[in-house]
Amino acid sequence: MIKLLNIDYQKFDNTIDCIDLLYLDPPYNTKDKNWRDGNGDSYERFLRSLFEKFNNFSTMWLFNEWQNFGTIQSLCNTYNYHIVMPIIWSRSSPGKSSNRYKMNYEIMFWIVKDKNNYKFNKQFYKLTGKKVLPYKKPDGSPMGWTINQNGEREKLAEIGSVWTDTRPFWSMPENTSHACQKPQSLIDRIIKTTTDEGDLIIDPFAGTFSCGRAAKMLHRDYVGIEINKDFYEEGIKFVESGLGKKSIRNDHYKSVKKHKDQIRLREVG
C-alpha cells in the first residue's frame, strides 16, 4: 500500500494503531524570522507538535541540525522516547566559510519508543584493497579478511555511526527538483536496518516522495504527506516511474523548478 497525500501534516487523521517507522525530515532552518515571536523560538513548539501528533510510532528517524540537539533530547525525555544514537551523515557542502570550518554534515537522530525492544537489521559493506588493513594472526593467516579473485584483500565491515558513502550529487539518476532531497542509498539503508517487509512508514514532510519510492521498491507500506502541490505532483510521477527529472522530460518540471529554493519552515505552519 502506497498512499500519497497533498495536505498539511496537521490535517492528517492519525488513527493508525502503530507506525513502524516515522520518517521525519522537516525543515530546520531555525534562523527563519517567521518562526520566532515574542515568546522565544517557536521551533521547539513545532517539534513538540510533531512528537504529540505522531506519538504512536515504534521507530523514528529525525533529520535535523546540531543546534537543536538539546531541544530534541529534552523532548525525548519529556515523552519518554529513547535516542538510540545520532548518526552523522557526511555530505558535500556548497559555498565557503570565512570564520569557521565548512559544514559538511547533517545529523540523523535514531529514536525508539522501547529501548529494550526495537528492530535492527545489521548491515555490512564490503571493503577491498588498501582499505583493508593486513592484520594477521600469530600463525600468519589473515585476521578477518580474505583474498578475492582479483588478488585484493577483502572483508565485510559493519556500518558505523558516520555515513560517508551515501553522499548526494546533483547528477544522481533519482534527482528531482526538491532542493533538500536525500539520496536513495541513504533512505534505503534506514528502511532496511529498522523495518521489515510489510511494515508501515509515515512521512509527514515527503517532498517529492523519495522515501515513498524506496518503500515501494523495498515492499513496505507507506503514507507520504506533502503540502506543496508542485512537489506532490512531481512526486507521483517519481514514485510511479522510479525515475528522476533527468529521465522524465516534460513541461511539469519547468513549473516545479521555481520552487527549488522555497523550502522554508513557514510552509508547514
**Is a pLDDT exceeding 60 seen at residue 2?**
yes
Cβ density class 4-35: b for 16+ within 10 Å, e for less: bbbeebeebeeeeeebbbbbbbbbbebeeeeb
Q: How far apart are CA 190 and CA 166, in angstroms?
A: 11
Burial of 94 (0-12, 13-18, 19+ CB in 10 A): exposed
- What is the structure's pLDDT at 231? 81
**Is a pLDDT exceeding 80 seen at residue 59?**
yes
Helices and strands (H, E) in the chain, number of each type: 6, 13
Q: Are 162 and 90 in contact (CB under 8 A)?
A: yes
Gap between the terminal Cα atoms of the chain? 28
**Is a pLDDT exceeding 60 seen at residue 171?**
no
Residue the block writes with cell 558513502: 165
What residue spans in the chain does CATH classification 3.40.50.150 cover? 2-120+161-268
Average the pLDDT over each of 24-28, 30-34, 232-236 and give the range with the smallest value.
Answer: 30-34
- pLDDT category, 264, cuts 50, 70, 90? very low
Between the alpha carbon of residue 110 and those of residues 24, 62, 74, 151, 207, the distances in Å are: 10, 7, 15, 39, 21
- pLDDT category, 128, cuts 50, 70, 90? confident
- What is the structure's pLDDT at 261? 36
Mean pLDDT on 91-113: 78
CATH 3.40.50.170 fits 2-120+161-268, yes or no: no
Q: Which residue has the higher pLDDT, 177 or 251?
A: 177
Q: How far apart are CA 197 and CA 220, in angstroms?
A: 5
What residue spans of the chain are helical by DSSP H? 43-53, 69-79, 184-194, 210-217, 229-241, 252-257
Share of the chain above pLDDT 90, in %: 23
pTM for the structure as a whole? 0.77
- pLDDT category, 169, cuts 50, 70, 90? low
Q: What angle do CA 22, 71, 80 make, to 5 degrees?
A: 55
Q: Which residue has the higher pLDDT, 227 or 37?
A: 227
Q: How far apart are CA 222 and CA 202, in angstroms?
A: 6
- What is the structure's pLDDT at 197? 93
**Helix, coil or strand: residue 134:** coil
Q: Which amino acid is at 228?
A: N
